[in-house]
Structure 1
């Protein structure tokens, strides 16, 4: 992604936790392209070494292999750092339902370790990956930051607790924080494999193999699918924003929703440009997934107003780029 219009000058030393993951590795790459010094902290539980393989040649890149559940590791990673982009977490609602203890240990205890380390190292600001799952059973659309419902999964609880801890660390210790509530991020480097793979890369892999993608429910559930470059932009803006824009949470999305039937239709169209047979693959349907929110749509006016957020990629533009990346890298 070209983020020259969001130049971080003078360059900073930025720690990206979970920097070998899908979002984290894209952040590391963009920050290095802009001349920053980047430290990546990852234990490779879900991150992949191939996501950052090309970054080792950059003298401004440092990898620390370690776990955020270890405070000493967090302290080491935060030493000399200006800003933290905290992406490390165990994602996935189903994973948290199957194993709530590990999700809590990583997402809550690990997050608390990072807050303590950032505070003690004098980090200027910690920007962290929050989640749209925090909206829970709230039925209001679009989702506005200060109107949330009851969490519907252990994962959602952990991400809400992050917001509460971040607020306390600002009011008690003066640590500046910004939470970014991601809405269904997709794009290059997103893993299509495994039990907890996200819907878009999972569907892409199925279609490329000429297999029917399985939609949970009747396909009417909708999401505010958000291309990775919009997320990178928002993280940069969260670093650059002045103190008046800090110590709060922001929706990170495009501000439009697409249902799952429409999503598969777009994927078949774009993949069909490479392989016409894909356009004729039928869709399969299964039961709704426990803990899933039926509809999700973000109000992004707060981010636009306070941070100048201007997402460049809608669902169609993002999918075209993502599909091309998957075709070139997974076929």
Structure 2
């Protein structure tokens, strides 16, 4: 099995590559990444592995995608421009990367007869639908340009399955966190930001009153979901979209208190205004992924927070400038 991981120098992608290179049935892993949000440091441990290849390139360029897909059996399409605030600030670039880039990968797969594409979808697709827990077939209206782009990915996947006979599996990630997630920059995710604040003893800002809640999901769980989707032989499991989460709801205040407790910190947060485009509450029903993909998230939230905190502690002398 020869696998292409787009965005493989990024956070989820590099964790997935590490796992795939440890599997005997995977003979080759190619990474395509333009390093806009990914980092060579995330993949430096694999560079001397004869089963690994890194291609620096942009999914917005179709010829680049076609070349990267040559000789590949299956694709894990992780490349995307994340962040709701970034998409609100710059909707054009989010659309180019997330919609045009994904369409390029799907089309390259179609042209080359690649067996299966697993792609990163998003819980942002649920938009303003009030129901909890979130169930795959009940979505609302998107609340941000980012959410629109990820929904469009699902629409294209459905059309490419129906029209061209592709096998596509979408994974709606719910707030994935863990090692290799960058705490730097204006669009950093909340968990690395909280950890950075705690380790530097600087009070973090919580948007709103801390009541927003999320189904935080350790990266190992997301990796397991990708592996299940890439290798499943269940014909009912393909051409579906799945919630990938823990099925646990944690508010931002609870999250910060958890991290403080694990770190032995007594920091108090600062509260700021709510962010535009944010969904208030999120909680996943993961029964579909359990039933069809045999997804069974191995790491609960608090254990994941502990592992993540320890990883960042070890980076103090390293590249993340905590």
Q: Aligned runs of 1:292-303 on 2, under 5 Å?
A: 292-303=278-289
- Aligned partner of 1:307 in structure 2 is 293
How far does residue 306 in structure 1 lie from its aligned partner after superposition? Answer: 0.5
The one of 64, 70, 74 aligned to 1:79: 70
What CA deviation, in whole Å up to 9, does each residue of 1:69-100 have, x standing for no partner?
Answer: 11111001111111100000000000000000
State yes or no: 1:268 paired with 2:260.
yes
For 2:266 and 2:171, the matched residues in 1 are separated by: 38
Partner residue of 1:212? 203
- The aligned counterpart of 1:21 is 10
Q: Where does 1:148-167 land on structure 2 (aligned, <5 Å)?
A: 148-167=139-158
Looking at structure 1, the residues matched to 53 and 111 of structure 2 have their Cα atoms a distance apart, in angstroms, of 21
Alignment of 1:123-272 (within 5 A): 123-241=114-232, 242-272=234-264
Identify the residue that residue 290 of structure 1 maps to in structure 2. 276
Hey, what does 1:5 align to over in structure 2? none
Return structure 1 stretches of 4+ with deviation > 2 angstroms: none
By how many angstroms is 1:243 displaced? 2.3
Which of 9, 14, 33 is the equivalent residue of 2:22? 33
Partner of 2:54: 63
Deviation sequence 1:160-207 (CA, Å, 0-9, x none): 000000000000000100000000000000000000000000111011
Which stretches in structure 1 are left out of the alignment for 5+ residues? Answer: 1-11, 273-278
Instruction: Output one character per residue of 1:280-314: Cα deviation in whole Å (capped at 9) or x when no partner.
Output: 11111000000000000000000000011111111
TM-score, normalised relative to structure 2: 0.97
Residue 322 of structure 1 is aligned with which of 308, 317, 321?
308
Which range moved further: 234-243 or 130-139? 234-243
CA distance in 2, matches of 1:285, 1:147: 32
For residues 290 and 67 of structure 1, what CA distance do their matches in structure 2 show?
29
Number of positions where the alignment pairs a residue of Structure 1 with one of Structure 2: 314
Deviations 1:201-248 (A, max 9, x none): 011101111100110000011000000000000000001222221001
Distance in 2 between residues matched to 1:173 and 1:283, nearest whole Å: 51
Deviations 1:139-169 (A, max 9, x none): 1000000000000000000000000000000
Give the secondary structure class of the aligned counterpart of 1:144: coil
Question: With structure 1 as the length reference, what TM-score do the two structures score?
Answer: 0.94
Structure 2 unaligned residues grouped into runs of 5+: 318-322
Coordinate RMSD, CA, aligned: 0.7
- The secondary structure found in structure 2 opposite 1:181 is strand
